[in-house]
Amino acid sequence: MTLLLRIGTRRSTLAMTQTGHVRQALADALEVDAADMDARLPLVPIVTTGDRIQDRRLLEVGGKALFTKEIEAALFDGRCDLAVHSLKDVPVEPPEGLALAAIPVREDPRDAFVSERFDGVMDLPEGARVGTASLRRQAQLLALRPDLRIELLRGNVDSRLKRVADGEFEAILLAASGLNRLGRGDRIRAMLPVEDFVPAPGQGALALQTREAGAPGLDLWGPALNDPTTALAVRAERAAMRALEGSCRTAVGAHAWREGDDLVLVAERLRPDGTRRWRETARIPVASDVEAAAEALGQTVQDRALADGEPFEN
């Protein structure tokens, strides 16, 4: 019987591009010829609520799940067998009946500084306008430069790049991974250091989601597309976020990387105005219960923030 694997994805240019990379990797793992791609690995593009709403922050309309819920519904009702998501958009607690089947090698997880005239955050003039839709990036910017004017920036990557090129902003912040995947890496003026801009949990990584029962050919493509190092790091980041109650209403970051036999994890929470930040770093042996240790680290950060009077958000 010929294998059929229908791939659900957002319809945005970035989502279609990164899904195209995954689709080619699937074709290689399953030995599907280019001529048979449309028949055996068809794409199922889906416009999500998050794509349709462009004039408000996600926290005002339901959070990041707005980028995944319609695609997850397509998995449940059988319109697709596999969904490709940006992992940072996937809620930490997946819907019952769905599972993350593979996490491919991660792209650069850092934030990128994009500007027509300035080389970095500290080079911006006083009161400069900086565009972002991320509460985390807003808080991290203001922690360094409380004088900056942070303004809402939504839309696809090309529309955001056009707005800064047209002079609406002195600079904008974007995920480096998206720019690289779209071949727009030349627009990056500077890469923002992790010590100042701890990335969002899962930033730069993709998630391949299926029904819990699996998907056609999973035993063949699952191991081929899953990168154990990336998968371990993002599990730790997401465990820390679970303890931090990270959402679009809280400014949180978590980033992990492998160093020898340890996983280094940094997690932080910030006030939206950047006036306070709580951060912890740990070295976690990879042979230990990494998720439990990561959740404990996130809880330490959360407890410090709550002790200082920060509200509990979820």
Residues catalogued as catalytic: 89
Whole-number Å distance between alpha carbons of 130 and 194? 19
206-211: strand order across its sheet = 43-46, 7-10, 82-86, 206-211, 98-102
CB atoms within 10 A of CB 297: 24
The position carrying tokens 């997946």 is 94
Whole-number Å distance between alpha carbons of 236 and 114? 29
User: Is the Cβ–Cβ distance between 204 and 233 less than 8 Å?
Assistant: no
Whole-number Å distance between alpha carbons of 178 and 180? 5
Q: Are strands 171-175 and 129-131 parallel, antiparallel or unpaired?
A: parallel
